[in-house]
Homo-oligomer: A and B are copies of this chain.
């Protein structure tokens, strides 16, 4: 962590696959070099924890590849997944002392981590970064509010259908051209049935039954339990509520 080490560290950002999509996108080369200095790459295995709910907010990170879940729990241990973090997304809680939720890798994951205090300082000094972070946070707030509609008002079928629609969208990085008309799209779910249930506020059994129902109705195919083929997206959308 000393100056010499930092100075010698190669600039990972230049070759970063999410360089143009993450919050660093609007930074110029000089700024990126500075950011590169305070960050470091880290690999997470499935199940490995990056942040612990209620603990001091030490780290923030960009996700380079892989998927993380964000979760909170009640006092007696019931867990609710409150966010899924995909490549180019930001994770962690800047400008606060404690982390309001846990973050855990669902797949093999590469993140670009920063000491929260370093990041806070950098953000305050670089408005373009802060602006990107604001846009991202506003989008995430919109997403979590749509999620609240799902949790508050939708039945099991609508929840599972919505989950599949949303997940296929996120996994394709927001591209809308796929599966819009007729071509089937294939999803590789990064979540187990239990985790899907924790996302949707349901039980594992109910989620499983809905998948089976969709399969029987010809709305999806399941080559394996984590691989979902959607032959006709509109049929799925019709069950979204």
Contacts and interface: CB of A to CB of B under 8 A. Distances in A.
Contacts of A95: 134-135, 138
Contacts of A154: 74
A83 interface: yes
Contact of A74 (B70, B141, B153, B201): B153
Interface residues of A, number: 45
A194 interface: no
A80 interface: yes
Interface in A84-131: 93-96, 100-101, 124, 127, 130-131
A149 interface: yes
Interface in A19-75: 70, 72-75
A82 interface: yes
A131 B94 CA distance: 11
Contacts of A147: 148
Contacts of A79: 153
B144 A201 contact: no
Contact of A145 (B70, B137, B201): B70
A94 B138 contact: yes
A166 interface: no
A102 to B, nearest CB: 11
B241 A145 contact: no
Nearest to A138: B137
Nearest to A158: B74
Nearest to A124: B131
A130 to B, nearest CB: 6
Nearest to A125: B127
Interface in A135-170: 135, 137-138, 140-142, 144-149, 151-154, 158
A43 B131 CA distance: 31
B93 A142 contact: yes
A133 interface: yes
Contacts of A148: 72, 80, 82, 144, 147-148, 151
Given A74-B158, A83-B145, A93-B142, 10 more contacts: A70-B145, A72-B145, A72-B146, A72-B148, A72-B149, A74-B149, A82-B149, A137-B141, A144-B145, A151-B151
